[in-house]
Chains A and B, each alone.
Chain A
Amino acid sequence: MKKTTVSKLLQKYLPYVIVIVGFAVCQSMVSAGTMPRTTKSLLIPVCVYIVMAVSLNLTVGISGELSLGHAGFMSIGAFTGIVIAAYVREVFGCSESLQLLISIAAGGVMAGLFGFLIGIPVLRLQGDYLAIVTLAFGEIIRNILNCIYISVDGSALRFSFNQPNLPGKLLFRGPTGATGVTRIATFTAGFILVLFTLFVVLNLVHSRSGRAIMAVRDNKIAAEACGLDVTKYRMMAFVTSAALAGMGGALFGQNYSTLTPANFSFNASILILVYVVLGGIGNITGSIIAATILYVLPEELRAFADYRMLVYAVVLIGVMLLTNNRTIKNFLNSLREKIRGNEEKKGGALHE
Chain B
Amino acid sequence: MSDKIKRKSDTKMVPFPSHAIVPERDLGSRPVLECSHLGIDFGGLRAVDDFNLTIGKTEIAGLIGPNGAGKTTVFNLLTKVYQPTSGTIMVNGKDTAGMNTAQANKLGLARTFQNIRLFNQMTVEDNVRIGLHNQISYGMFSGILRLPPYWSGEKKQHEKAMDLLSIFHMENMANEKAGSLPYGAQRRLEIVRALATNPSLLLLDEPAAGMNPKETEELMDNIIKIRDQFQIAIMLIEHDMNLVMGICEGICVLNFGRVIAKGTAEEIQHNPEVIEAYLGRQKED
Contact = CB atoms under 8 A, between A and B. Distances in A.
A208 B138 contact: yes
Interface stretch (A83-91, A168-176, A199-207, A334-342): A199-207
B131 interface: yes
Contacts of A203: 143-146
B105 to A, nearest CB: 4
Contact of B117 (A199, A207, A219, A230): A219
B195 to A, nearest CB: 11
Interface in B172-219: 193-194, 196-197
A215 B122 contact: yes
B179 to A, nearest CB: 9
A218 interface: yes
A225 interface: yes
A4 to B, nearest CB: 14
B121 interface: yes
Nearest to A236: B140
Given A207-B150, A211-B122, A218-B121, A227 B197 contact: yes
Nearest to B80: A224
Most chain B CB within a 10 A radius of its CB, from A207, A210, A229: A207
A225 B105 contact: yes
Contacts of A212: 130, 133
Contacts of A221: 81, 101, 113, 117
A222 interface: yes
A226 B153 contact: no
Nearest to A64: B121
B133 A208 contact: yes
B106 interface: yes
Nearest to B111: A225
A228 interface: yes
B144 A226 contact: no
A30 B146 CA distance: 35
Most chain B CB within a 10 A radius of its CB, from A199, A214, A227, A230: A227
A143 interface: no
B40 interface: no
Nearest to B127: A215
B275 to A, nearest CB: 35
Given A214-B122, A221-B117, A227 B133 contact: yes
Most chain B CB within a 10 A radius of its CB, from A204, A226, A228: A226
B74 interface: no
Interface string A178-208: 0000000000000000000001100110011
Contact of B106 (A219, A227, A236): A227
Interface residues of A, number: 26
B259 to A, nearest CB: 24
B197 A207 contact: no
Contacts of A214: 119, 121-122, 126
B69 to A, nearest CB: 22
B133 A226 contact: yes
Interface string B24-65: 000000000000000000000000000000000000000000
A219 B118 contact: yes
Contacts of A283: none
B119 A222 contact: yes
Nearest to B145: A203
A27 interface: no
B136 to A, nearest CB: 8
Contact of B118 (A217, A222, A230, A236): A222
A208 B157 contact: yes
B222 interface: no
B134 interface: yes
B129 interface: yes
A148 interface: no
Given A204-B140, A207-B144, A225 B79 contact: yes
Contact of A224 (B100, B122, B137, B154): B100
B110 interface: yes
B101 A208 contact: no
A15 to B, nearest CB: 15
Contacts of B143: 203-204, 207-210
A228 B110 CA distance: 12
Contact of B105 (A207, A210, A217, A227): A227
A226 B105 CA distance: 6
Nearest to B110: A225
Contact of A211 (B79, B100, B130): B130
12 contacts: A204-B140, A207-B144, A208-B129, A209-B140, A211-B129, A221-B81, A224-B101, A226-B131, A226-B193, A226-B196, A228-B130, A236-B140
Given A214-B119, A226-B196, 18 more contacts: A199-B144, A207-B140, A207-B142, A207-B154, A208-B153, A210-B143, A212-B133, A214-B122, A222-B118, A222-B119, A224-B102, A224-B105, A225-B102, A226-B194, A228-B130, A228-B133, A230-B102, A236-B140
5 cross-chain pairs, A with B, having the tightest CB-CB distances, nearest first = A207-B143, A227-B105, A218-B119, A222-B117, A224-B101
